[in-house]
């Protein structure tokens, strides 16, 4: 047999196409670590906005002044440390929350994304919603309950000397269930927030790649997209956040009573109470969280 014939035979042999590796997959421990670090950094930087937002939602409509005027009043009477009341609880909770959120989101995304790692808008919303529900049960509800109770207590009875002290009193008086006061409202809020935030971020990032021909590469690019996702999230989900805060006050309110209280204090507009400080926080936090998360993933990979 001639060399040409051998060569022809070899070329004619069928080839096997290997499946493409799913680019959406991120190792679970990497997602957990990167998300936790990003969440902790963000919480520490943006906490004054969170304090202003929560404080304004707990005040009745009869009390005058904006959320930021209230901040100045707290600083004048209690010093700068006053606006960091409950901060440690939020840092721990946000670190755990963000770690769980990204872990759940990336895990679900890996299952829903196509072979090129692209996730549809509906897939992003679904993944974000499930991630929000998981983070609410595992991290958000107890830490938000403690933070909100500390802020509420600081404006009145001042029974709580510290975060551990507050935890001890709440458990002693209400049991473990006391730390999960507002679980339903918090889960609704977190599912909606995470669905909108993660879904909009994923969609904006995909649109950016389609327009510019490449995914966001620099920190300013990621920060801007994350901030836009934060802006969308605030106004789409603020009513859920306002109701959640009412159910997690130091005494706690039922879901129905919280909704009636918000309505009687401010009508329809009352459900968007605290949106200004929350917008300030989420514009920053959206940029910070996604930027830090993407940088850590890039570094570890």
In the three-class reduction of DSSP (H, G, I as helix; E, B as strand; rest coil), residue 171 is classed as helix
How far is Cα 92 from Cα 28, in angstroms, rounded to an integer? 20
Which tokens is 22 given? 């799913």
Prediction pTM value: 0.61
Encode the chain (301 residues) as per-residue pLDDT tens digits.
444 444 444 444 344 444 444 444 677 888 888 888 888 888 888 888 888 888 777 765 445 456 667 677 778 877 777 778 778 877 887 888 888 888 888 888 888 888 777 778 788 888 888 888 888 888 888 888 888 888 888 776 678 888 888 899 989 998 988 888 888 888 998 888 888 888 888 889 888 988 888 888 788 888 889 889 888 988 889 899 889 888 887 666 788 888 888 888 888 888 888 888 888 887 787 778 888 888 888 888 6
Longest dimension (CA), the chain: 99
Using the CB atoms, write b or e for 82-93: b if 16+ within 10 Å.
ebbbbbbbbbbb
Q: Which domains does the chain have, with CATH numbers?
A: 23-57+64-300 (1.50.40.10)
């Amino acid at each position: 047999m001639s060399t040409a014939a051998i060569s022809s035979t070899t070329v004619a042999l069928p080839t096997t196409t290997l499946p493409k590796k799913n680019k959406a997959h991120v190792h679970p421990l990497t997602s957990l670590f990167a998300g936790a670090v990003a969440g902790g950094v963000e919480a520490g930087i943006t906490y004054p906005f969170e304090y202003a937002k929560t404080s304004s939602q707990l005040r009745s409509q009869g009390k005058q002044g904006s959320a930021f005027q209230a901040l100045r009043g707290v600083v004048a009477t209690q010093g700068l440390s006053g606006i960091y009341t409950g901060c440690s609880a939020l840092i721990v909770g946000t670190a755990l929350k963000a770690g769980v959120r990204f872990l759940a989101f990336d895990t679900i995304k890996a299952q829903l994304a196509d072979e090129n790692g692209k996730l549809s808008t509906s897939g992003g919303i679904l993944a974000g919603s499930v991630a929000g529900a998981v983070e609410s049960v595992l991290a958000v509800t107890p830490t938000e309950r403690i933070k909100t109770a500390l802020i509420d207590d600081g404006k009145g009875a001042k029974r709580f000397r510290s975060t551990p002290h507050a935890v001890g009193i709440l458990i002693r008086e209400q049991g473990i269930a006391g730390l999960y006061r507002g679980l339903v409202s918090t889960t609704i809020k977190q599912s909606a927030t995470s669905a909108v935030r993660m879904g909009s971020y994923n969609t904006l990032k995909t649109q950016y790649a389609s327009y510019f021909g490449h995914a966001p590469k620099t920190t300013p690019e990621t920060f801007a997209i994350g901030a836009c996702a934060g802006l969308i999230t605030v106004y789409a989900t603020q009513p859920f956040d306002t109701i959640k805060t009412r159910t997690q006050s130091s005494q706690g309110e039922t879901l129905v009573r919280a909704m009636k209280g918000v309505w009687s204090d401010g009508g329809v507009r009352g459900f968007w109470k605290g949106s200004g400080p929350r917008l300030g926080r989420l514009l920053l936090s959206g940029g910070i969280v996604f930027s830090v998360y993407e940088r850590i993933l890039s570094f570890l990979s």
